[in-house]
Structures are given as C-alpha cells and as structure tokens.
Amino acid sequence: MLAHGSGGKLAHELVESSFLKALANPLLAKLDDSAVFNFSGRLAFTTDSYVVSPIFFPGGDIGKLAVCGTVNDLAMSGAKPLYLSLSFIIEEGLPQGELSQVVDSIQKAAQEAGVEIVTGDTKVVHRGSADKLFINTAGVGIIPEGVDISGNNARSGDKVILSGAIGDHGIAVLSRREGLSFSTQLESDCAPLGGLVADMLAASSNIHSLRDPTRGGLATTLNELAKQSRVSIRIEEEKVLVRDEVLAACEMLGFDPLYVANEGKLVAIVPPEDTDKVLKVMRENHYGKEAAIIGEVRAEHPGRVVMKTCLGSSRIIDMLVGDILPRIC
C-alpha cells in the first residue's frame, strides 16, 4: 500500500517486521537518520540502482543482484566491501510475499559477501508509476595498503584475465522475460566477488585494473579500460569461454555474447610476471575456476579493442551501441 511508504505507522511496521528482522545488526537497529561507525584508511564508495525485469530469474532475483552488484563494484576498486545501504522504490500492490522473498535473498547474499546492511529507505509509488520494485544499494569498503587498482592503470604488455564464461546473466534473465520466454537450464552467474578479489590481491599486490563486465558486456568493459588507460587491448575469440546454451540463445536472438551482461565475472589486467600466481588462486576459488588469459594490452592505437577470431581474422570490437537488452540489471 502507498501508506507503507509514508514514513508513518505502516512504514515503521514494514521496516520493523520485514527489514529489521531479516537484516538485523546493531547499526541498522538504531534507526537513526544515518548509520555511524569508525573508519580509518582509504575508503571506496559506490552506488547502483537495480531495475531488472522480471524481478525473479533463474539463479537469483533483484535482491541478490542489488547486493552482489554493489559488492562487486567495491571489489573492482580493490576494496574489501564492508557496509551497504538499501533503498526500495516499491510499486503499490507488490505482494508482501514477493518483497519478503527479495529481503531474504538480500540477507543471504549479504551474509555470503560478508557485508552488513546498515541504513535504508522505502518509498511506495502509485500502481503504474514504477514496475514492481526498484532497488538502490550504495556501499563502502576499505582498500588495503599498497593496493592501487584503477581503469587508468593498464600498461602495454599486461595480460587480460577473464574469470569465467560470459553471457549467463543476460540470457538467464531474458529467458524469463514476458513475451520472450524460452526454456534453458542456464542460471544467472550473479555472485559476490569480494572473496575472489581478496584471494587475487593476496597473491599479487600488483594487479593494475579490475572490472566486472555487467551492462554492455565484456566488449564494453574492455573498451572502457582501453579508453581510460589510453592503450589497446587484443583478445582471442577462442580463449573467451561461452556456454553452449548462451551461444544457442544468442544465435536465436541475434545477439553477440561479447555484449551480453554478466553479474559474477571479472576482468583483471595483470603484469605478465604476476599472471601465473593470480591465475592459480583464481582457479582455486569457486567463482574463478574457469579463469583464463584471453588477451593482452598493447601500446598502439590507444582506445581500440581488437579480437582475433576463430577463423584467424581480426575484428574491431566497439562499445555497445544502442541497447540490446534493456533492464538486465
């Protein structure tokens, strides 16, 4: 009901019965306007809003996504994720059961990621003024001493590591979308990558760049890195893992898996001398067991991404133009 977003009695009841119980921790329980905690060091701060449709999909839901997405943005800065904020925009009429299911997913994902939800907000809008549920999470994390990770740091000669198969999230969400559903065994790869990044940083304090190829897919992420670092990136098609189900769906729908979103994968740019040890720890982690070197960084043609295809030819890989899959995250 609209009144659940009023700030009044029903809003307080909703917060107490649904959110405080599931997400219980001392910082949240104070119910002040801000969460307060001590912090000393380099702080990473990020935010994302999640508008995925449908809100439940194979392998996850909007709640799990909202935790993992923001945890991963922190991890991609080399930070250990610590605390999240959580803000709901709810369409009037969303069944309380669906909201509870999402809150449960949030709790489980936060637990796995080792983060706490410490502050939040709830708004309810009229039926038709939103689509079921939008979630925003912001997050803070701490960057360990000596870590310097940025999209600006890729250097010629660095290797490009991809942590696993691409396209699972986009195709899994799409398989359940109204008017388009098709049957597949595929699940979203949605996962918190803070642990994987911690393992990688323990193996090498010299990782140059990390990024998770979400909206826009691997192609867009590589273009961002090439542009920010003023380098080119050359990858090999045969090294990029794509599951058969994703390939089949992409062929059917006319998509290129390089542009399909992921929510549990990362790209790491690593100096050649550290590549072996980073790859080793990645493959020992559940979320990196299919990690592989897919290419390298070069100095010529700054900003350009090129792929050597399976046929041996070279293809320039541009950033995503237009939007093949709206509301994928």
**Which residues from 206-235 bind its own copies, rule CB under 8 A?**
211-212, 214-216, 220, 224, 228
Helix or strand run (H / E) with residue 211? strand 209-211
- The continuous run of DSSP H or E covering 51 comes out as none
Q: Indicate whether 49 belongs to the interface with its own copies (CB under 8 A).
A: yes
Cα angle 313-157-75, degrees, rounded to a multiple of 5:
100
- Comparing CA positions, the residue from 125, 109, 107, 135 lying closest to residue 20 is 107
Residues 250-269 within binding reach of its own copies (CB under 8 A): 259, 261
**Interface with its own copies in residues 121-180 (CB under 8 A):** 121, 123-126, 128-131, 134, 136, 138-141, 143, 150-152
Residue of 77, 107, 229, 275 interacting with its own copies (CB under 8 A): 77
Residues of 123-139 as b/e, b for ≥16 C-beta within 10 angstroms? bbeeeeebebbbbbbbb
Total of chain residues touching its own copies, rule CB under 8 A: 87
Minimum distance from CB of 288 to its own copies (Å)? 18
Q: Does the footprint of its own copies cover residue 35 (CB under 8 A)?
A: yes
Q: Which of 74, 171, 203, 281 binds its own copies (CB under 8 A)?
A: 74
Q: Report in angstroms how near the CB of residue 143 gets to its own copies at its nearest.
A: 6
Chain residues 184-203 in contact with its own copies, contact rule CB under 8 A: none
> Any contact of residue 285 with its own copies (CB under 8 A)?
no
Exactly one of 14, 23, 28, 44 binds its own copies (CB under 8 A); which one? 44
Position among 59, 60, 63, 120 found at the interface with its own copies (CB under 8 A): 120
Amino acid at 116: E
Phi, psi of 136 (to 5 degrees): -110, 135
DSSP code of 306?
E
Q: CA–CA separation, 152 vs 314, rounded Å?
A: 25
CA distance 171 to 295: 24
Q: Which residue, 148 or 276, is less far from its own copies as judged by CB?
A: 148
Residue 186 beta carbon to its own copies: minimum distance, rounded to whole angstroms: 21
Structure tokens at 47: 């935010």
Q: Do you know the residue count of the chain?
A: 329
The footprint of its own copies on residues 290-329 (CB under 8 A) is 318-324, 326-327
Computed on alpha carbons and rounded to an integer, the radius of gyration of the chain in Å comes to 20
Question: Shortest CA distance to 90 belongs to which of 120, 57, 45, 64?
Answer: 120
Tell me how far, at minimum, the Cβ of 146 lies from its own copies, in Å.
14
Q: Pick between residue 31 and residue 283 the one whose CB is nearest to its own copies.
A: 31
146 vs 312, beta carbon nearer its own copies: 146
Answer yes or no: are the C-beta atoms of 299 and 184 closer than 8 Å.
no
